[in-house]
Amino acid sequence: MDRVALHGLRARGHHGVFEHEREEGQTFVVDVDMGVDTRPAAEGDDLARTVHYGIVAEEIVSVVSGEPVDLIETLAQRIADTCLAHAAVAEVEVVVHKPEAPITVPFDDVTITIKRSRA
């Protein structure tokens, strides 16, 4: 399986269990690594036979900036579902970074990583 990846997609979202997270929002960063058989696209030099990563990027930003959820696990699942809605994507790994998470000790990042594939 070939890989098409997007790293460091940034969007402001209002996700979290605390009221101030929902009201103020914060920046989320998303990485996706999609499993795609790119041979058909390469053979015909045909974008329609692969995944259009520009469209996927826009869709992911829309998910992050869209309807709030409590958990980044839920957000990651929604992003995975968005990627898998593209016919060329057989599997996806999603990493959601929450670098502004409300933690009381010094830290660099909080992440959730999920892997999903077509059933």
115 is catalytic: no
d(CA 54, CA 112): 23
Q: Does domain 2-117 have CATH number 3.30.1130.10?
A: yes
Confidence check: pLDDT of 27 > 90 = yes
Q: Catalytic: which of 39, 72, 98, 105? A: 98
Residue 96 pLDDT = 98
Query: Quick one: average pLDDT of 34-53?
Result: 97
Query: Quick one: average pLDDT of 75-83?
Result: 98
Under the banding of pLDDT at 50, 70 and 90, the label for residue 119 is confident
Spans of all domains in the chain? 2-117
Confidence check: pLDDT of 16 > 80 = yes
Average pLDDT score over the chain: 97
